[in-house]
Structure 1
Amino acid sequence: MELVDILTRDNIILNLQGNNQKEVIDELIHKLTERRLTTDPERFKKAIYKRENEISTAVGYGVVIPHAQCKSITKPTIIMGRSLQGVDYGGQHTNLIFMIAAPENAPNEHLSLLSKLSTFLMSETFRAKIIVATSEIDVIKAIQEQEKLEKPALNDESASGKYVVGITACMTGIAHTYMAAESLKEAARKRGMNVKIQTNGANGPENKLTPADIQHADAIVIAHDVRVDTSILRGKRFVDVPVKKAINHADELIDQALSYNIKDSSVTEQEIIEEPQTEEKSGLNFYKHIMSGVSYMIPFVVVGGIFIAISFMFGIYAADPESDQYNIIAHFFSQVGGEAAFALMIPILAGFIGFSIADKQGLAPAMIGGMMASIGGSGFLGGMIAGFVGGFAAKFIGKSMAKIPKSFQGLVSILVVPLISTFIVGAFMFFILNTPMSLLNEFLEGWLKGLTGINAAILGALLAGMMASDMGGPINKTASAFGLAMFAANIFEPSAALMVGGMVPPIGIALATTIFKNRFTLQEVEAGKASYVLGASFITEGAIPFAAADPLRIIPANIIGAAVGGAVCMAMDISLKAPHGGIFVIPIASNKPLLYIGCILLGSLITCFIIGFLKKPLSDKDRNSAKQMMNVI
């Protein structure tokens, strides 16, 4: 069976009418229904949106691959849509949409064909052919030509060059898994390197790595959004990244992996086997553990903040049954947000730090320690420490009991480890940490509440500037962690400054691509349109492509604009009771929404004009080069 057997000419829409994600998904599902390929279109639509909510299926290059397996699909198929003017798909400017629909019991052969399309889309030439196609037949011909060009990966150890191996695994194992593998293969082939990538797809692991592969590897890259078994790597260092990074930055990852110099002739095979793993087994990757806890905590923070803000709309005391302002709806929102969601913030933070360290065994003791931090007043910082103490205690106890007979291992994991590790973290929190940490929190809260004028402005400038400095990197995350700690202590002014710092870079860059178009390539001008949406949604990462292309001009402009906006924000005593959500939460979560939006616009305009001043105009040839146009496609 060929790919064109499931992406037929009748499944192609060359002129999508929709202008956004919802409209184009409805249009593609209508085609699916029209072709009688689904018995329940609404059920399939829910499956598609469930997948989108887990992680966006936008893969860059103006391509989106929404996909799902569902009982209502009668046979594996692909519905393709094209929009020459582009559509806004979840904040991404998109030209090509390939909707993959597969039954829950789809044969392995069919799933492999679906995955093949993902690898085709990594080719700029193939994408260009689809964009310029004048008929459905042209699309089919492009697919057939691409199938003839595909060559198997080089896996022969006698091949020239170094040997790169890796594993890719995405949430559903249909699209991103194979796109990441293809990107890594292509980057390695261009260097004349030998390559083997194991894909943990919907059919299970394919092209599995062997001990011989690992022994002879010069570089190892693991790209995954779900947990993968790395025990076969036998202690060798490897690059560990999300799938999308492998799709977009394969060359950089291979360079990084090669820099580890894992194939050292002075190291014997026995030494390699006994070398402790630095990423998976050391448990000392503090940043990863903290970010794991924070990522699980953020939804509770957002929901809690928004619900509390809504309750205040009925009156400051409307949630209090003893008040004359009492309103039962306000009480409902206050209880859900403040008494439920906020109460879970710190336990969730601690629990998933422990989970990151010791897997399921670390969850209960760390979460209980987090609850003790919340009850005992040690707050956000106490919760983080509880997560580490509970996680490492569970990990140590679990390892200490590894040699107990297998018949007792179940009892150990559900009783002994949680019981002892909970006692350790509980005693630590009760007798040692809570009292001094609560005093420290009280001092810090009093100091922050007393900040006014120039002192508040300096803190706002610092926090917002840190947010804009590396746009999602460690400095940004450090500032965010401080803001979340203050948020947990009911101090909401730092959250406002931090959101200014996150929104200014993408909005400022977007304004620059509009006002100073001759300073940017056509690709950058087009990407600038998406930056408006990303910035308004508080997605700072929308500025990263521009900063990577011109860091010496873009990054200082981002920091200066954000710092000015953050300084004015805190100097004006603006607060924000929802630390995420951008423009969607400002009207209900800020105490001074119009002034707050003004701070964001002020910072964005400063960033915009600094960029316009620093960047030089480009020639028409540079702005319209074929290479750049191909990148737009």
Structure 2
Amino acid sequence: MRIVDLLAKDSICLNGKVSDKKGAIDKMVSLMEKGGHLSNAGAYKQAVLKREAEGTTGIGEGIAIPHAKTNAVSSPGLAAMTLPEGVDFDSLDGRPVRLIFMIAAPDTKDNVHLEVLSRLSVLLMNQQFREHLIHAKSQEAFLKVIDLAEMSHQETAEADGAVTAEADKSAGAGAAKAGYQILAVTACPTGIAHTYMAQEALEQQARKMGYRIKVETNGSGGVKNALTREEIGAAECIIIAADKNVEMARFDGKPVIQTRVADGIHKPAELIERAVHGEAPVYHHRSHDGEPAHGESRNQSESIGHGIYKHLMNGVSHMLPFVIGGGILIALAFLLDDYQIDPANFGMNTPVAAFFKTIGGQAFGFMLPILSGYIAMSIADRPGLAVGVVGGAVANAGYTFGNMMHYGETVPVSSGFLGALLAGFLAGYIVLGLQKLCSGLPGSLEGMKPMLIYPVAGIGIIGAVMVLINPVVGAINTGMNQALASMGGTSKILLGALLGGMMSIDMGGPFNKAAYVFGTASLTSGGFDIMAAVMAGGMVPPIAVALCATFFKNRFTRKDRQSAYVNYIMGLSFISEGVIPYAAADPLRVIPSCIVGSAAAGALSMIFGCGLRAPHGGIFVIPTVTHPFQYLIAIGVGAIVGGLLMGILKKPVREN
């Protein structure tokens, strides 16, 4: 079945206007219904939303492919919409979506939607193809672009197949014996678009470079084009471009490159060069039970630093809802309370304030155990969760053997964020050690491991370890807090500038997250001024881009100007990612301008003595900020500095 056979003119909307992801899905369902493919539009929409809840179908590069397989579909169908101004679709790369295809598949044994998805994903890798669709003037022209691209792709595939077959025939038994030089496996968490895009990129690049490759896809429809034992034995190297676990035991003793599926899409030449030049490490399967332990051999070529970063971010991402929810409720308590009733009890003087302070405090109290628990879970899967949570709780409480033996005589000293961080990593590797020790137990005891052995032994060990190291880590934590509290004048201004500038280096990347984690961690010890500087630094970049587009119009194309104005809202909402498309297009001018502006805002926030108890919220939590007017001035000055510098550095653009 061809793509154009599934797409009716009534199901195409050109130059659509929607305000958000929900509106986009509503419009697409309506288009699908107009095409006559649905027996129950409401049920189909629910199936689409359920699929989105499992993971966004915004696959990056300005594309989204929402889809569903349900008995609410009467016949397989497609709908399409172009969005010249773009819409936020929670895409994997954070960029707004400008082109949406929706797929409807009946709930039958035939995986119609997966076949169409794989073909669509491959075609959409071509930027010229995407641009032709986005700028199509009519539904007929839109269909023509797809028809020509699909025919061209089919002809290319057939020609490549004929060339390969002829080469094999000419080479005879020698070619058959040689097999494929390179093998690859592609897989993404949802097993749809990125899986097939990586497959196509690797195959195309290998053909260009003159190498023979076979790519196995681990998609949601199961394993396709599976690698055989003979092919693996004859291959020079295997490339694993996957963001989920794949069967690895079969590659024991072979050179293997393990990387992200995104690298398979964007860096195929680099991967193939490494493969053919012997730059891949030999893979050794390490587990005793035939499968790698969670978090071990999933990405052997991954650096230790990147592995630590991934585990840390898993903890931080699960911790943030507790910090943000609890922090904002606590901030509201102070905003609504009457300081004059009892200054010593500020935040709890009125019933409303006491409610927000109590509930917010409970939520905030989960911060460190959740951080620790999900770091451990990232390392050791589900058995690590309970062990990590308990380790974080013990670190937060500051228990030591001394204050347990002499209860009431010595005061526990919390080891805080640093202790919880350490507890998470220790818990994860303690559970991995227990899994290794228990791998030789009889099969009849298999069910006891996760329900009895791992939690009892793991919690007991992490408890003993933490009460031993809590005095040391607690002393370090106390020293750090005292050092921050004693900072004055120039030191605090420099710290504010540093943290503010870090928020603009990579807009949501490691530097940005490091500064934000430092800010949220400081909340547990009363470092409200640090959190204020961090949020000010994060609000500046989008506003700076919007200001530059407003007052230096000739530095942007008309389309980029229109998109830039949305950054006023994103900046005020503390969403830095709105700058990413502009930073990616002109990094040497946009990023330095944003860093300077953010650093200025962070420094001014410190100078004005601003404090923030809520770790998120942007303009909506300004009333809870200490010295709110000065805080707005700091953000405004930073944005103006960044926007002005950007306007000076950027060159005028010419529009056709």
**Is TM > 0.5 for Structure 1 vs Structure 2?**
yes
CA contact (8 A) 2:190 2:220 kept: yes
Cα distance in 1 between the residues matched to 2:347 and 2:97? 52
Aligned partner of 1:117 among 116, 120, 133: 120
Cα distance in 2 between the residues matched to 1:46 and 1:582? 32
Cα distance in 1 between the residues matched to 2:19 and 2:182? 42
Cα distance in 1 between the residues matched to 2:590 and 2:132? 34
CA contact (8 A) 2:497 2:602 kept: yes
In structure 2, the partner of 1:467 is: 503
Instruction: Please state if 1:563 is matched with 2:596.
Output: no
Name the amino acid aligned to 2:497.
A
Cα distance in 1 between the residues matched to 2:478 and 2:16? 58
CA contact (8 A) 2:528 2:611 kept: yes
Cα distance in 2 between the residues matched to 1:336 and 1:197? 52
Tell me: CA distance 1:88–1:404, structure 2 relative to 1, closer, same or farther (3 Å): closer
How far 1:426 moved relative to its partner? 0.4
**Equivalent position SS for 1:199:** strand
Cα distance in 2 between the residues matched to 1:182 and 1:379? 48
Cα distance in 2 between the residues matched to 1:295 and 1:167? 28
Name the amino acid aligned to 1:99.
M
Name the amino acid aligned to 2:451.
I
Cα distance in 1 between the residues matched to 2:495 and 2:350? 37
Aligned partner of 1:308 among 323, 326, 330: 330
CA contact (8 A) 1:219 1:257 kept: no
Aligned partner of 2:367 among 345, 356, 366: 345
How far 1:98 moved relative to its partner? 1.4
Cα distance in 1 between the residues matched to 2:258 and 2:616? 30
Name the amino acid aligned to 2:387.
P
Deviations 1:152-185 (Å, cap 9, x if unpaired)? 487989699x965544434433334333433444
Tell me: CA distance 1:195–1:394, structure 2 relative to 1, closer, same or farther (3 Å): same
Structure 1 stretch 275-284 or stretch 445-454: which is displaced more? 275-284
CA contact (8 A) 2:504 2:512 kept: yes
Aligned partner of 1:356 among 378, 392, 412: 378
Aligned partner of 2:634 among 599, 608, 611: 599
CA contact (8 A) 2:198 2:241 kept: no
In structure 2, the partner of 1:516 is: 552
How far 1:149 moved relative to its partner? 1.8
How far 1:15 moved relative to its partner? 4.9
Tell me: CA distance 1:467–1:17, structure 2 relative to 1, closer, same or farther (3 Å): closer
How far 1:461 moved relative to its partner? 0.8
CA contact (8 A) 1:498 1:566 kept: yes
Cα distance in 1 between the residues matched to 2:584 and 2:45? 37
Cα distance in 2 between the residues matched to 1:223 and 1:521? 37
CA contact (8 A) 2:206 2:272 kept: no
CA contact (8 A) 1:168 1:197 kept: yes
In structure 1, the partner of 2:104 is: 101
Cα distance in 1 between the residues matched to 2:624 and 2:250? 49
Tell me: CA distance 1:576–1:50, structure 2 relative to 1, closer, same or farther (3 Å): farther
Tell me: CA distance 1:13–1:610, structure 2 relative to 1, closer, same or farther (3 Å): closer
Deviations 1:539-591 (Å, cap 9, x if unpaired)? 434444544454443333232221111011122222223323444x4345534
Deviations 1:487-534 (Å, cap 9, x if unpaired)? 233432222212222232343234334433434566755664555555
Name the amino acid aligned to 2:222.
G
Deviations 1:303-354 (Å, cap 9, x if unpaired)? 22223233334326799999994335x4444343221x21221111111111
Tell me: CA distance 1:77–1:406, structure 2 relative to 1, closer, same or farther (3 Å): same
TM alignment of 1:283-302, pairs within 5 A: 284=304, 285-302=307-324
CA contact (8 A) 1:351 1:363 kept: yes
In structure 2, the partner of 1:498 is: 534
Aligned partner of 2:433 among 396, 412, 415: 396
Tell me: CA distance 1:567–1:117, structure 2 relative to 1, closer, same or farther (3 Å): same
CA contact (8 A) 2:236 2:276 kept: no
Cα distance in 2 between the residues matched to 1:477 and 1:616? 31
Cα distance in 2 between the residues matched to 1:52 and 1:144? 28
Cα distance in 2 between the residues matched to 1:115 and 1:196? 17
TM alignment of 1:6-25, pairs within 5 A: 6-25=6-25
Cα distance in 1 between the residues matched to 2:85 and 2:320? 35
How far 1:606 moved relative to its partner? 1.4
Tell me: CA distance 1:55–1:566, structure 2 relative to 1, closer, same or farther (3 Å): farther
Instruction: Please state if 1:409 is matched with 2:428.
Output: no
Instruction: Please state if 1:222 is matched with 2:241.
Output: yes
How far 1:207 moved relative to its partner? 2.4
CA contact (8 A) 2:69 2:113 kept: no
**Equivalent position SS for 1:471:** coil
Aligned partner of 2:646 among 611, 615, 622: 611
**Equivalent position SS for 2:82:** strand
Tell me: CA distance 1:550–1:437, structure 2 relative to 1, closer, same or farther (3 Å): same
Cα distance in 2 between the residues matched to 1:548 and 1:616? 16
How far 1:425 moved relative to its partner? 0.8
TM alignment of 1:228-239, pairs within 5 A: 228-234=246-252, 236-239=255-258
In structure 1, the partner of 2:26 is: 26
Greater Rg by CA: 2
In structure 1, the partner of 2:403 is: none
**Equivalent position SS for 2:616:** coil
How far 1:273 moved relative to its partner? 4.5
Relative contact order, higher structure (CA 8 A, sep 6+): 1
In structure 2, the partner of 1:574 is: 610
Structure 1 stretch 355-364 or stretch 184-193: which is displaced more? 184-193
Cα distance in 1 between the residues matched to 2:623 and 2:566? 25
**Equivalent position SS for 1:412:** helix
**Equivalent position SS for 1:100:** strand
Cα distance in 1 between the residues matched to 2:347 and 2:533? 32
CA contact (8 A) 1:33 1:41 kept: yes
In structure 2, the partner of 1:628 is: none
Tell me: CA distance 1:323–1:117, structure 2 relative to 1, closer, same or farther (3 Å): closer
In structure 2, the partner of 1:204 is: 222
Instruction: Please state if 1:449 is matched with 2:485.
Output: yes
Deviations 1:212-265 (Å, cap 9, x if unpaired)? 3586255625242x4444444437453433x55655xx13x6426744777369
CA contact (8 A) 1:181 1:199 kept: yes
Cα distance in 2 between the residues matched to 1:85 and 1:322? 48
Aligned partner of 1:438 among 474, 490, 495: 474
Please give the TM-score of this superposition, normalised by the length of structure 1.
0.83
TM alignment of 1:64-83, pairs within 5 A: 64-70=64-70, 72-83=72-83
Cα distance in 2 between the residues matched to 1:170 and 1:457? 44
Tell me: CA distance 1:239–1:571, structure 2 relative to 1, closer, same or farther (3 Å): farther
Tell me: CA distance 1:115–1:261, structure 2 relative to 1, closer, same or farther (3 Å): closer
Tell me: CA distance 1:256–1:470, structure 2 relative to 1, closer, same or farther (3 Å): farther
How far 1:5 moved relative to its partner? 3.5
Name the amino acid aligned to 1:485.
A
In structure 1, the partner of 2:409 is: none
Deviations 1:82-135 (Å, cap 9, x if unpaired)? 345555656854432212234555622443123322222222343244234444
In structure 2, the partner of 1:370 is: 392
Instruction: Please state if 1:174 is matched with 2:192.
Output: yes
Aligned partner of 2:278 among 248, 258, 263: 263
CA contact (8 A) 2:337 2:348 kept: no
Tell me the matched-pair count. Answer: 608
**Equivalent position SS for 2:634:** helix
Structure 2's unaligned 5+ residue stretches are 169-174, 288-295, 399-413
CA contact (8 A) 2:86 2:563 kept: no
CA contact (8 A) 1:534 1:542 kept: yes
Cα distance in 2 between the residues matched to 1:510 and 1:164? 47
Aligned partner of 1:420 among 457, 468, 477: 457
Name the amino acid aligned to 1:403.
G
Please give the TM-score of this superposition, normalised by the length of structure 2.
0.81
**Equivalent position SS for 2:336:** coil
How far 1:366 moved relative to its partner? 1.4
In structure 2, the partner of 1:382 is: 419
Tell me: CA distance 1:287–1:96, structure 2 relative to 1, closer, same or farther (3 Å): closer
Cα distance in 2 between the residues matched to 1:615 and 1:16? 31
In structure 1, the partner of 2:466 is: 429
Tell me: CA distance 1:138–1:546, structure 2 relative to 1, closer, same or farther (3 Å): closer
Name the amino acid aligned to 2:357.
S
